[in-house]
Amino acid sequence: MSKTSRFPLIAALIALAVTATAVAIGWRLVNGDDSLLRNVVFQKTTITPNADGDEDITRIQYQISRNAAVSIYFENEAGDRFYYRQDKPRGAGQYEVLFSGVVDGFRLPDETIQGEILARLLPDGRYTWTIAATDEEGVTEQQQGELIVAGADPELPEMRDFSINRAIFSPNQDGIDDRALIQFQLMKEVAELRVFLLDDEGIERPIAEQERDVPAKMPGRHYFDYEGGVDNKATPPPDGTYPIIAIARDAEGQQILAEESLTIQFGGVPRADIFTPATGNALQFEATAVVVCDTLTFTLTVQNYGDTPIRTTGPAPGTVYDSDWNYNTLGWHTESGAWRVAIGYENEITNYPYRWAIGNVEDLQKIGDHYYLMPGERAVVTGGIRVVNVFGDRNPQPMWAGLIHEDVEISQFNTHVDPHAILVDLPDEGNFEPCPLREIPAKNEQ
């Protein structure tokens, strides 16, 4: 081949090589090389994380070309390592985070901090930062640089003396161990303070703060009152033992967790009524008229249709009142949370003056020092009223039954149940003689 004919071939080969090189350069410019970790940027070399709004954070950017586990950590001059991210799975793409100096929780030597440190600021000092990525084949790449932390807030949002006033409580509005009080001493102002019960499904059930002299989120003693939601007719968690957790987060992002366990027993929303049979009356009086000094008796049935026991107190069924007495006369004063059946009338001076326990001892179950009608159970209640004069201004007098949850409520369907008009048969005014006096029945504990 002549020299003249070789020149076009050489020129063509050179052009092809130049083109291939240009394509390769263009490909890398557009798509990058085959490295796993690319385009790492740590925006600042110094941060002052003290929530003053000046140099508190730095922007971190990086790119990974394929699926990988990514770690971001810092090492101080002593070689101690602090993780911001540890082996977090990431897909191919560009990532950006704002770093405020807060890393996974750690304790300093000889430090006695109450609770678990979830997140904490790096102490002031010089650190080597590292971003490392490991792909699915085990290939690891990393890049490093230097970060100085200065002026960091060293105080943690600690909660000291975290406690619950009882280990077991029964949120069922029976007046016995119905509430649990959580309290602790918060050592600094915080941005967020949460207290909750963590149920078996991992759902947080918030507990409200009972504010006193210390405002919410401010340093001082804090109180949280828990009743299982029963006050709002919400069903409490099932009986069992649960963690009660408090988490405090300060303005810098540091977090402390405190925890104690609490056992729920006999929890539930109490539900009961005066049973109405298919035939007959819910409230049965033995007569519609009664002679002065005679006794008017009644019968009714109470049923517990809820899922928790309901507590009761005396006097026992069968007790006979004089019509000018009331439950205080017999020494059976109001007991918060107790259930009692009652008879009321239109002109009564005291609301539902005649009250009885919701069952006899044999109908009830003793739990601790108290008696309860258990879920699904019924009890027949009888009682009497010796009429010593007319009931108020009307005669006949409307009289009815009630089921009272003392100091809680008389529900709409448990008040003025089954009214009856009862006539008091009075002698002529000149022939009226006072009824014989009788002793007030002795108080026997129900």
The answer to whether residue 213 sits within a structural domain is: yes
CB 265 within 8 A of CB 272: no
Pick from 124, 149, 174: which residue ends a domain? Answer: 149
**Closest C-alpha to 257, from 183, 157, 109:** 157
Q: Same domain for 311 and 229? A: no
CB 139 within 8 A of CB 163: no
The answer to whether residue 114 sits within a structural domain is: yes
Q: Same domain for 115 and 177? A: no
Pick from 264, 291, 322: which residue ends a domain? Answer: 264
Q: Same domain for 73 and 55? A: yes
CB 272 within 8 A of CB 357: no
Strand partners of residue 302: 274, 379
Q: How far apart are CA 6 and CA 208, in angstroms?
A: 91
Pick from 149, 169, 188: which residue ends a domain? Answer: 149
Q: Same domain for 80 and 184? A: no
The answer to whether residue 10 sits within a structural domain is: no
Q: Count of CB atoms within 10 A of residue 164's CB?
A: 16
Q: How far apart are CA 408 and CA 419, in angstroms?
A: 23
Q: How far apart are CA 74 and CA 152, in angstroms?
A: 15
pLDDT computed for residue 279 by the predictor: 87
Q: How far apart are CA 358 and CA 341, in angstroms?
A: 6
The answer to whether residue 121 sits within a structural domain is: yes
Q: What is the pTM of this model?
A: 0.82
The answer to whether residue 395 sits within a structural domain is: yes
pLDDT computed for residue 226 by the predictor: 97
Q: How far apart are CA 74 and CA 63, in angstroms?
A: 19
Q: Count of CB atoms within 10 A of residue 363's CB?
A: 19
Q: Same domain for 250 and 324? A: no
Q: What is the pLDDT along the chain (446 residues), one digit of tens a residue?
A: 444 444 454 444 444 544 444 433 343 434 446 899 999 999 999 999 998 889 999 999 999 999 999 999 999 999 999 999 999 999 999 999 999 999 999 999 888 999 999 999 999 999 999 999 999 999 999 999 999 999 998 899 999 999 999 999 999 999 999 999 999 999 999 999 999 999 999 999 999 999 999 999 999 999 999 999 999 999 999 999 999 999 999 999 999 999 999 999 999 999 999 999 988 899 999 999 999 999 999 999 999 999 999 999 999 999 999 999 999 999 999 999 999 999 999 988 889 999 999 999 999 999 999 999 999 999 999 999 999 988 877 889 999 999 999 999 999 999 999 999 999 998 877 778 889 999 998 887 65
For residue 145 the two structure tokens come to 């640089």
What CATH number is associated with residue 175?
A: 2.60.40.10
pLDDT computed for residue 242 by the predictor: 98
Nearest 10 degrees: CA dihedral of 412, 414, 420, 421? -60
The answer to whether residue 20 sits within a structural domain is: no
Q: How far apart are CA 426 and CA 388, in angstroms?
A: 10
pLDDT computed for residue 228 by the predictor: 95
Q: Same domain for 57 and 83? A: yes
Q: Same domain for 307 and 172? A: no
- Residue 306 burial by CB count (10 A; 0-12/13-18/19+): exposed, middle or buried? middle
Q: Same domain for 194 and 296? A: no
Number of domains the chain contains: 3
Q: Same domain for 246 and 281? A: no
- Residue 25 burial by CB count (10 A; 0-12/13-18/19+): exposed, middle or buried? exposed
The answer to whether residue 298 sits within a structural domain is: yes
Q: Same domain for 277 and 401? A: yes
The answer to whether residue 414 sits within a structural domain is: yes
Strand partners of residue 257: 116, 247
What CATH number is associated with residue 63?
A: 2.60.40.2550
Range of the domain at 356: 272-431
Instruction: Judge if the upstream peptide bond of residue 89 is cis by omega within 30 degrees of 0.
Output: no
Q: Same domain for 238 and 307? A: no
CA distances from 232 to 179, 229, 347 (A): 14, 6, 33
Q: How far apart are CA 387 and CA 180, in angstroms?
A: 46
Q: Same domain for 292 and 374? A: yes
